[in-house]
């Protein structure tokens, strides 16, 4: 067994994990990032468009932090954890300025970052990074390395380790040996569980089930019914699977057509489709795809966009060139599109500094729930990853200096059961279970939900539990139970919320209801899942 010891352990090397690491290291703590992939790569951040929303002096002079907050809460159908949302919008401008100082470049207009309008924001306040988020991660990875942060890559954390009530580190597996990491404080920054759905853009291996790690250690899960589906992923045989940032295309005349060639917007009398937030747009497109039973195609048609349009809007021009460069015939003909699982609004419950209810355990980034309420507006995921990454890193560092070593050796029990699980191979193939779960989630816990389908999904997920597993990749034998925990939490919360709000659409309860202005919290007590409602 490989043993390590650090002050602050960060599980996850994406945007939130890197920000947390830089912050904890600036407080002179020993910091280790452990990731099942690579630090700064093969994660959701690497797929991102690189849009950051923040109020800035370079934006609309009439914009304000107050308006950013109002938009965030309206976007979240008022279900956001308001104190968290408030901290995010107040703090992000200072980090935005700092990122520019350390060399992160944004698309510019006359030498200044260009503030763009994206759906859900009432003012142009979204900034597109040059080189997308890969460039941002490289800058942060170098800063973390320069700050003395240790990187432990290709290591999957399978369990948090507790001593008494406190988290004192974690155990995991790197494919050849068990790894035990003792830590004064631990931060979960594992990203979102987009892999739960068959239609997703998550890169293989980058999917986060930190929700399961934290839940099993005693932290509440909140807002798990709110999964964001992004409306426009290229979905046609022979074309690359990539997502299309739709605002600029629709603003300049792009359209989405149903199988009969009719505009899905015009049918509903929608004049400004570019203002549709992702939740409403995905629900609209899903309804058109499923009308009349069976799935019908939907198409994006941007053939009316002219050179003059592209000259007038650098974001549109870069969007179109990017699509053409990647083989999408965006100016030549209509092409197939479909919504896909994009972001998780739910996750582990935390306070203003990422602290959870379990001492020694913090959370940051997409693994944290509550900030975005029932639907996230564009560029706010990066804002949350950065703000709560930095805050949790500092808080974890400060916390770690207040605690001593665990009393006995709490790692040996966790390592022994991990060793048993590694040596036991035989049973249902994990790849079969994974594809079944992903298809089930897309079909029955996807964009349009109803009681019968949710109940069937819960029953089937339950039947897949406790099955002996076999896999050529032992990592998968640990990931599948975590996947089932997370899938079950999403399904259970979706079956409990009998209304439609934000991204959660119930065919059998299509209206938003005042009495549902409360959060659903799930926690583990005596091996059973306990449901609570939290007032706002
Ligand atoms: C296609 C796409 C485009 C997007 N574009 C934008 C955008 O432009 N702007 C915006 O604000 N948001 C965007 N988002 C959302 C945003 O990218 C994510 O919310 C954000 O990058 C998540 O960062 P993170 O650090 O929380 O997680 P990630 O970047 O996913 O990192 C998670 C890390 O945890 C590791 N990990 C997970 N589980 C374990 C484990 N058990 N053991 C060890 N390591 C583990 C992973 O390997 C990885 O290193 C986009 C999302 C998608 C899918």
Q: What is the pLDDT of residues 341-372, one digit of tens each?
A: 999 999 999 999 999 999 999 999 999 999 99
pLDDT at 382: 98
Q: What is the DSSP string of 136-198?
A: HHHHHHHHHHHTT-EEE-S-EEEEEEEETTEEEEEEEE-SSSEEEEEEEEEEE-----GGGSS
Contact (Cβ atoms closer than 8 angstroms) between residue 215 and residue 523:
yes
- Nearest atom in ligand 1 to 243's CA: 1
Distance, CA 366 to ligand 1 centroid (Å)?
A: 7
Distance, CA 192 to ligand 1 centroid (Å)?
A: 6
Closest alpha carbon to 241 in 307, 276, 194? 194
Distance, CA 24 to ligand 1 centroid (Å)?
A: 20
Distance, CA 210 to ligand 1 centroid (Å)?
A: 12
Closest alpha carbon to 185 in 65, 421, 354, 410? 354
**Is the confidence at residue 303, as pLDDT, over 80?**
yes
The verdict on the CB of residue 191 being under 6 Å from ligand 1 is: yes
Cα–Cα distance measured from residue 80 to residue 92, given in angstroms and rounded to the nearest whole number: 17
Residue with CA closest to ligand 1 atom 14: 48
Q: For 210-268, write each residue's pLDDT tens digit.
A: 999 999 999 999 999 999 999 999 999 999 999 998 999 999 999 999 999 999 999 99
The verdict on the CB of residue 36 being under 6 Å from ligand 1 is: yes
Q: For 70-109, write each residue's pLDDT tens digit.
A: 999 999 999 999 999 999 999 999 999 999 888 899 988 8
Average pLDDT, the chain: 94
Question: In the predicted model, what is the mean pLDDT of residues 426-448?
Answer: 93
Cα–Cα distance measured from residue 210 to residue 109, given in angstroms and rounded to the nearest whole number: 40
Contact (Cβ atoms closer than 8 angstroms) between residue 180 and residue 169:
yes
The verdict on the CB of residue 81 being under 6 Å from ligand 1 is: no
pLDDT at 462: 95
Q: For 258-302, write each residue's pLDDT tens digit.
A: 999 999 999 999 999 999 999 999 999 999 998 767 789 999 999
Among 9, 48, 54, 179, which is best to mutate for testing ligand 1, by the most ligand atoms less than 8 A from CB?
48
Contact (Cβ atoms closer than 8 angstroms) between residue 342 and residue 278:
yes
Among 175, 191, 379, which is best to mutate for testing ligand 1, by the most ligand atoms less than 8 A from CB?
191
H-helix or E-strand spanning residue 117: none
Structure token pair of residue 102: 């350390």
Q: Set out the domains of the chain in order of their start, with CATH numbers.
A: 2-226+343-400 (3.50.50.60), 232-340 (3.90.700.10), 411-510 (1.20.58.100)
The verdict on the CB of residue 347 being under 6 Å from ligand 1 is: no
Cα–Cα distance measured from residue 207 to residue 194, given in angstroms and rounded to the nearest whole number: 6
Cα–Cα distance measured from residue 425 to residue 407, given in angstroms and rounded to the nearest whole number: 34
With cut-offs at 50, 70 and 90, classify the pLDDT of residue 204: low
Contact (Cβ atoms closer than 8 angstroms) between residue 234 and residue 297:
no
Among 4, 10, 12, which is best to mutate for testing ligand 1, by the most ligand atoms less than 8 A from CB?
12
Distances (CA, A) of 497 to 182, 367, 368, 449: 39, 21, 20, 11
Q: For 109-168, write each residue's pLDDT tens digit.
A: 888 999 999 999 999 999 999 988 888 999 999 999 999 999 999 999 999 999 999 999
Cα–Cα distance measured from residue 197 to residue 413, given in angstroms and rounded to the nearest whole number: 34
Cβ neighbours, 10 Å, residue 208: 29
Report DSSP state, residue 18.
Answer: H
Among 155, 378, 381, which is best to mutate for testing ligand 1, by the most ligand atoms less than 8 A from CB?
381
Cα–Cα distance measured from residue 452 to residue 303, given in angstroms and rounded to the nearest whole number: 41
The verdict on the CB of residue 16 being under 6 Å from ligand 1 is: yes
Distance, CA 12 to ligand 1 centroid (Å)?
A: 9
- Nearest atom in ligand 1 to 12's CA: 34
Question: In the predicted model, what is the mean pLDDT of residues 427-447?
Answer: 93
Measured in whole angstroms, the distance separating CA 425 from the mean position of its chain's CA atoms is 32
Question: In the predicted model, what is the mean pLDDT of residues 19-32?
Answer: 98
pLDDT at 473: 81
The verdict on the CB of residue 343 being under 6 Å from ligand 1 is: yes
With cut-offs at 50, 70 and 90, classify the pLDDT of residue 422: confident
pLDDT at 178: 96
């Amino acid at each position: 067994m490989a043993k390590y010891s650090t002050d602050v352990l960060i599980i996850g090397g994406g945007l939130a994990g890197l920000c947390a690491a830089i912050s904890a290291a600036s407080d002179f703590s020993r910091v280790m990032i452990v990731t099942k992939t690579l630090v700064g790569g093969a994660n959701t951040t690497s797929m991102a468009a690189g849009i950051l929303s923040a109020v800035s002096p370079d934006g609309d002079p009439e914009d304000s932090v107050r308006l950013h907050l109002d938009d965030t809460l309206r976007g979240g159908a008022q279900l956001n954890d308001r104190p968290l949302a408030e901290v995010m919008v107040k703090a992000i401008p200072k980090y935005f300025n700092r990122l520019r100082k350390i060399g992160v470049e944004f698309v510019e207009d006359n030498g200044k970052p260009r503030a763009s309008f994206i759906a859900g924001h009432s003012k142009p306040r979204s900034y597109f990074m040059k080189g997308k988020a890969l460039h941002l991660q490289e800058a942060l990875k170098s800063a973390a390395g320069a700050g003395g942060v240790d990187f432990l890559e290709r290591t999957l954390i399978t369990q948090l380790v507790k001593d008494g009530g406190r988290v004192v580190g974690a155990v995991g597996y790197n494919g050849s040996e068990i790894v035990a990491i003792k830590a004064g404080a631990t931060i979960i920054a594992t990203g979102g569980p987009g892999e739960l759905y068959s239609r997703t853009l998550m890169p293989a291996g980058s999917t986060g089930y930190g929700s399961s790690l934290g839940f099993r250690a005693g932290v509440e899960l909140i807002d798990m019914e709110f999964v964001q589906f992004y409306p426009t992923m290229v979905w046609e045989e022979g074309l690359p699977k990539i997502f299309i940032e739709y605002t600029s295309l629709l603003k300049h005349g792009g359209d989405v057509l149903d199988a009969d060639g009719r505009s899905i917007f015009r049918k509903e009398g929608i004049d400004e489709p570019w203002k549709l937030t992702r939740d409403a747009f995905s629900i609209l497109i899903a309804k058109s795809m499923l009308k009349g039973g069976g799935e019908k195609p939907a198409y994006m048609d941007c053939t009316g966009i002219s050179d003059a349009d592209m000259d007038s809007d650098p974001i549109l021009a870069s969007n179109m060139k990017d699509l053409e460069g990647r083989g999408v015939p965006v100016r030549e003909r209509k092409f197939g599109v479909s919504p896909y699982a994009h972001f998780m609004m739910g996750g582990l419950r935390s306070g203003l500094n990422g602290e959870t209810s379990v001492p020694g355990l913090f959370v940051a980034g997409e693994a944290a729930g509550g900030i975005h309420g029932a639907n996230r507006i564009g560029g706010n995921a990066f804002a949350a990853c950065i703000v709560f990454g930095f805050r949790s890193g500092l808080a974890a560092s400060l916390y770690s200096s207040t605690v001593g070593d665990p009393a006995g050796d709490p790692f040996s029990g966790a390592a022994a059961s991990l060793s048993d699980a590694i040596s036991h191979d035989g049973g249902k193939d994990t790849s079969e279970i994974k594809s079944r779960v992903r298809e089930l989630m897309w079909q029955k816990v996807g964009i349009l939900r109803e009681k019968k389908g949710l109940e069937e999904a819960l029953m089937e997920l339950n039947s897949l539990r406790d099955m002996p597993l076999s896999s050529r990749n032992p990592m998968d034998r640990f990931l599948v139970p975590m996947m089932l925990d997370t899938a079950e939490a999403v399904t259970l919360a979706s079956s409990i919320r009998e209304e439609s709000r934000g991204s959660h659409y119930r065919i059998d309860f299509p209206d938003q209801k005042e009495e549902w202005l409360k959060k659903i919290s799930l926690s583990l007590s005596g091996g059973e899942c306990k449901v609570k409602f939290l007032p706002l």
